[in-house]
Structure 1
Amino acid sequence: MISCILKTQSRFFCAFLLSLVVSFGALAQEGASEQADVATKGVDPGATAGAEASTGDPAVISAGESLFKNNCAVCHSAGSDVIVGPGLQGVTERRSEAWLLKWVKNSQALIQSGDADAVAIYNEFNKQAMPSFAFSDDEIKSILAYISSGQGVTSAPAAGPEGVTAGESVGTEAVGAASAIGGYLDIVLVVLIIVLIVLVVTLLLITSLLKNYLNKNRTLNEYDTEVVNQRFDFSKVYKSKAVRALVLLIFVVVLVDLSIDKVMGIGIQQGYQPKQPIAFSHKLHAGDHQIDCNYCHSTVYKSRSASIPSANICMNCHSQIKTESAEIQKIYKAIERNEPIQWVRIHNLPDLAYFNHSQHTKVGGIECQTCHGPIQEMEVVYQYSPLTMGWCIDCHRETPLNTEGNEYYDKLVELHDASSKGAFTVASNGGTECSKCHY
């Protein structure tokens, strides 16, 4: 009977150890899945859409917004913030429409005419010449309508914990959540180890107490006395078939897991952050100065690829701003030598995959941050998303299509609703067919 008790304790201990291994493996897999989900969730495409203006023609305001972001936002904010030039909030109240039309078309001519307001602005902002724009009167009026609508005015973000603003926390939410999951798994592992140690110590104490009790209070036969008083032989542990099978199982599971991770990671460059020939800060330009992405990457809404900005685009501002900077001097040298700047490409897709930026940004309304992460907070840009086929397909399966007001989709939506209760997603429109992305 005594030997049966001790064997039962030993089997219970082995079973408990095996259950710990299996449970931790399941927790790790679940945490990894959650981390992948967090890492791949981008900004909601509709989260940053502006509200329709309460006054004015929405179509005119929309056209003005596009013109403003593509031409004016590099130097001006639609609010009160000063970037290179003054903030434009309330400009239609401070200046007449006729004056503004002359100023936008040819500010230098207005200054040279001796206009007091034009000369005052020119002197206030360090005599920086404003470029002349070949806009029609209607185009300038649409820009003024956009500014007057207040859609471009961003309210101050709410302060978060320890002074971190809400805007800052949104950009780093995915990274913070992933780190929290990693920390959670570490805590779980430590707790499991502590529980295991406590259990081992408890079993040893119980065994010791049971042996003392039996030796003092029971009359044992020769066999039971030998079992109770036998010394623990470690050689029997590693020679045990159960222990060897458990160790082999753990080794195989770890080896398979590492192998799968390595194989599945081939070609994935998430986190890739190469050093660029010129230290360009997206945080400074896109974040602090709120320069629209389309100003530098001018084809992102109308072409398959987002163009790399030429040195001439940089010179639109840096012919007058920070001309003494060592990094800006590199741009000057590239222009003098008539050589392109050798930027290092970060986001690379295999040649067998077809991707069209305009289809996603212009047609789909996808924000840059959905794929590129909090780009406005990056000092040095890195690959935020995995850019794997599974990642793309998951997005196509989950992203609903905006079909309102588009007759092309009417019949398709009708057929979809008749056969499915789910949303009409990109996948519903053939977005997961192989030929959509592969030639």
Structure 2
Amino acid sequence: MMAMISCILKTTHKIFLAFLLTLAVTFGAQAQGESEQAEIATKGVEPGSTEGAETGSADPAVIDAGAALFKNNCAVCHSAGSDVIVGPGLKGVTGRRSESWLVSWIKNSQALIQSGDADAVAVYNEYNKQAMPSFAFSDDEIKSILAYIDAQANVAAAVPTTVAGPEGTTPGENIGTDAIGAVGGYLDIILVVLIVVLIVLVVTLLLISSLLKNYLNKNRELTEDDKEVVNQRFDFSKVYKSKAVRTLVMLIFVVVLLDLALGKVMGIGIQEGYAPKQPIAFSHKLHAGEHQIDCNYCHTTVYESKSASIPSANICMNCHSQIKKESPEIQKIYTAIERNKPIEWVRIHNLPDLAYFNHSQHTQVGGVECQTCHGPIEEMDVVYQYSSLTMGWCIDCHRETPLNTEGNEYYDNLVKLHEASSKGAFTVASNGGTECSKCHY
């Protein structure tokens, strides 16, 4: 009988510990599952992607060239869809106007208006007589822009039919993530049921153990040894008085303290996450994200110079001479212009004077995207330093980034020498990108 009681008590303790472990694993798995569902739900076709859509008969290279011209020159005033920004949305413009008229209008809209062209005058008057800048584009360049606009219209038309769902679903409905969510809901129900069963089981065993203790204490003559077994209690004082436990706690404390101290020391001079308050509340999420204004439109030297320029007030006024003129933030631009003083933007990304960095070498020659170093800038209401910008961070990038050597005779002999001595890719480091004098001279 006593052996059975002892076994029940031990079993109860084991089940209780298993219950606690199950809770920890359950909630950990649930949290991981939710994060994976969120990750899957946020995955999709990138903005501007033409995946799964028809782009017409135009050469993809022509469309790409037109996309670059449009984003750098036109997107600040026009959308490729139906939205009106400063000027009209350009969706379907090739169907409304002839190609020769569009070429003349884009090259020199004022000349076309002054010639008395009825359509040109009508557009000019409809949009508050806002003069469109003249562009020194060739006919082929203008045609590439028009090809891009047509391709974007085809993409928009194809989006509702790209996802084939079961009957009863609407075009564009996200069937995959809904199904994942339903499965996750069933798993949550199963986990809750298991937890309830475990709780009931533990409570039942504790009640049985208590009843048996009372029965034995009242109705049986027990020896001292038996009483000790029946009425045994867990002594928590033995745990914290144990030398092993104290040693373990002390080691954990020392390790945590060293980790915190090392993190603080290694973080000296690193401004990752730095987000200063700017003199004007400018949102990159609105401009670069929603309106898709190309970075090069405001930072005009990012592909041409050692430094990416800070946009001047007149660049802002290209749009805000017509848009939201009464906004308190826009009025700050007007004030700066009236006082003939530059807007005092606060610099965010600072490199030490001892390090040489060339923007154009990375963006123009290397083809590095802005987001590689600056993060998802098109999603930031307030810009912050995304990357650590440490020497180790730069060197790791140079070690991992392969160089595009195709069609460049400068690299021919270097690539041959590299292939003769190494099986790895020809990276920036292979071309001296990790030498000290590359950045420090």
Q: Under a length normalisation based on structure 1, what TM-score does the superposition of the two structures give?
A: 0.68
Q: How large is the Cα RMSD of the aligned pairs?
A: 4.8
Cα contact 2:67–2:148 (8 A) shared by 1 = no
2:146 maps to 147
1:401 maps to 403
Q: How does 1:201-280 map to 2 (within 5 A)?
A: 237-280=239-282
Cα offset, 1:88, TM superposition: 3.7
Cα distance in 2 for residues equivalent to 1:276 and 1:251: 41
Q: How does 1:159-170 map to 2 (within 5 A)?
A: none
Q: Do the aligned partners of residues 151 and 423 (structure 1) sit closer, same or farther apart at CA in structure 2, a change above 3 Å counting?
A: farther
Correspondent of 2:315 among 301, 313, 336: 313
2:387 maps to 385
Cα offset, 1:339, TM superposition: 0.7
Cα offset, 1:62, TM superposition: 6.6
Q: How does 1:34-113 map to 2 (within 5 A)?
A: 55=58, 66-89=68-91, 91-92=93-94, 94-113=96-115
- Where does structure 2 lack aligned partners over 5 or more consecutive residues? 1-9, 33-38, 40-47, 164-171, 174-202
Cα distance in 2 for residues equivalent to 1:81 and 1:233: 73
2:343 maps to 341
**What do the CA deviations read for 1:130-181 (whole angstroms, capped 9, x no partner)?**
1234x1xx63541322322558738357899xxxx99xxxxxxxxxxxxxxx
Correspondent of 2:416 among 408, 411, 414: 414
Matched position secondary structure for 1:153: helix
Greater shift in the superposed pair: 295-304 or 75-84: 75-84
2:356 maps to 354
Q: Do the aligned partners of residues 140 and 327 (structure 1) sit closer, same or farther apart at CA in structure 2, a change above 3 Å counting?
A: farther
Cα offset, 1:93, TM superposition: 5.3
Cα contact 1:146–1:152 (8 A) shared by 2 = no
2:365 maps to 363
Cα distance in 2 for residues equivalent to 1:57 and 1:237: 72
Cα offset, 1:362, TM superposition: 0.6
2:325 maps to 323
**What do the CA deviations read for 1:263-317 (whole angstroms, capped 9, x no partner)?**
2222222222222111111122112221111010000001111111000111111
Matched position secondary structure for 2:288: helix
Cα distance in 2 for residues equivalent to 1:391 and 1:427: 13
Cα offset, 1:226, TM superposition: 9.5
Cα contact 1:79–1:152 (8 A) shared by 2 = no
Cα offset, 1:224, TM superposition: 12
Matched position secondary structure for 2:125: helix
Cα distance in 1 for residues equivalent to 2:260 and 2:418: 42
Cα offset, 1:54, TM superposition: 6.2
Cα distance in 2 for residues equivalent to 1:331 and 1:145: 35
**What do the CA deviations read for 1:27-72 (whole angstroms, capped 9, x no partner)?**
9xxx9xxxxxx9xxxxxxxx989999965695x7776555443322
Residue type of the alignment partner of 2:138? E
Correspondent of 2:430 among 416, 428, 431: 428
Cα offset, 1:356, TM superposition: 1.3
Runs of 4+ in structure 1 deviating by more than 6 angstroms, as ranges, are 47-54, 60-63, 157-160, 222-233
Cα distance in 1 for residues equivalent to 2:119 and 2:129: 13
Cα contact 1:272–1:346 (8 A) shared by 2 = yes
2:166 maps to none
Cα contact 2:280–2:332 (8 A) shared by 1 = yes
Q: Do the aligned partners of residues 239 and 78 (structure 1) sit closer, same or farther apart at CA in structure 2, a change above 3 Å counting?
A: closer
Percent pairwise identity: 76
Q: Do the aligned partners of residues 275 and 49 (structure 1) sit closer, same or farther apart at CA in structure 2, a change above 3 Å counting?
A: farther
Cα distance in 1 for residues equivalent to 2:288 and 2:233: 72
Cα contact 1:354–1:438 (8 A) shared by 2 = yes
Cα distance in 1 for residues equivalent to 2:366 and 2:239: 63
Cα offset, 1:420, TM superposition: 2.5
Q: Do the aligned partners of residues 229 and 242 (structure 1) sit closer, same or farther apart at CA in structure 2, a change above 3 Å counting?
A: farther
Greater shift in the superposed pair: 276-285 or 380-389: 380-389
Q: Under a length normalisation based on structure 2, what TM-score does the superposition of the two structures give?
A: 0.67
Residue type of the alignment partner of 1:71? N
Cα distance in 1 for residues equivalent to 2:140 and 2:366: 28
Matched position secondary structure for 1:384: coil
Residue type of the alignment partner of 1:416? H
